[in-house]
Structure 1
Amino acid sequence: MDIATLLGLLIGFGGIIFGNLIEGGHMSSLMQLTAFIIVFTGTAGAVMVSSSEHALKTGLELAKKAFKRHESEAPAKLEDIVEYARLAKKESILSLEPRINKIGDPLMQNVLRNVVDGVDESVIRDIFETQIYTEEDELLAGAKIWADAGGFAPTIGIIGAVLGLIHVMGNLTDTSKLGAGIAVAFVATVYGVASANLLFLPMGNKIKKRVEDMTREKMMVLEGGLMIAKGANHIVIEQKLRSYLPHASKA
């Protein structure tokens, strides 16, 4: 599991709970099933209405990645590109053909196949840039469902609080229960604001960053293939493509 995500959730939610206990609050006062149902089902419903089925499926799949440790494959792919460039320069571009089917990365495989086939560089760029940015748009639409949830949750929490207060106002004759009833009503607001700012919005941001990293990695592969097509020296290719690597991998 990704350590930053785990620690962030523990510190964020744990800090709120601990602060509540310091002030003399009780855990039981924050555990309200009705408020939970109102906030989370209401938020889920709003997100479903505002998003396409494909975006919802993509967003749920991407959420799993947000909790997994992520190791960039860009450095390894850079090494492969440099090796292919060295081979193409030493022998010929056609010498790459026997190796193409053994390449694990589908994008690199397709780019180099077009390079070996002698497809014009501008055509290769147009084809794969369109593909890369279309995939990025689809993934960002998936990330957006979490940002949308972060926008809806606080408002749904307020709705829950208002519903709770309406219930309290309907029972004004029993004044002994007013304080407890009002407290329960505002738990919905706590759920809405806390889930938005500690879970939904941060998750959306993390997924968006992962998608941007994936796009940058794909653009590195495409640029590498095009430079091989131009017959660029493998040292020049490596120097240029290092700018696409995550900062920690550039050293």
Structure 2
Amino acid sequence: MDPATAFRAFTEEIDRWWLPGPINAFDSSRLLTMRIEPGVDGRVLEIYDNGDALELGRITVWEPGARLVFRSGVDDTEVDVRFASDGDGTRVTVEQYVLPDGDADTAGLFWPKIAHWLVPWCRAHDAARPVHRLAPVSVGLHYEDPAAAARWLADAFGLRSWDRIPAEGDAPDWIELHVGPVAILLFPLDGKRSPEPVTHQTWVYVDDLDAHLKRAEAAGATIVRGIGQDGYRAYTAEDLEGHRWTFAQAPPAMRPVDGAGR
């Protein structure tokens, strides 16, 4: 793929290569699509189901096929994306840095981590290809070494990733594997959300989170964490044997599926 095509894929098709997931947006429970408006002063946006949008950034440099720079709208950072010919393909370099006098403690340096989602999209590039859709159930697994576990699960069980299997030495904050549309999220043991030993946890996406919580409370479920907003709107409960379940508000882009939990 040449730089001009890669640039268009990055900007015009961000809604195609940006992976869905419970922690891949500032408000995934309402996320409808992603968008980059072309030209200087264009916006990088999360578009929500009610027509609202969160401005993730504002473009300061727009050089089609060569360079894109945008100032973050959610923290004190700037993102510089460069496109250059590299053999038969294109090298895309993503740098995100804290601005002078910016607050480094609140900086979310996530763009370099997620930009490699573009690679598999461009490798099998087809603008008409359907976007990724998540199933209404996901599973979270806690490992001492999630990266090593991901490599083993890929080799032994054939699990795949829309993103990438981490290489030796990589230590991403989270890893998403998939079996069809079902996401399997890998987390470190020391990164669990509870002081109690937790080895696995199931995510279920529901259409009406508030009504679902009331039903669980009425049935006597132990509510570990009430409804909160952490990139996704969700609550966590224990079943009759103490297993953890997280119920999250289904995003509008998640197509309704017949079955339990909907």
For this structure pair, what is the TM-score category when the shorter chain's length is used for normalisation?
Answer: under 0.3
Q: For the pair shown, which has the larger CA radius of gyration, 1 or 2? A: 1
TM-score, with length taken from structure 2: 0.22
TM-score, with length taken from structure 1: 0.22
- Structure with the bigger percentage of helix: 1
RCO higher in structure (CA 8 A, sep ≥6): 1
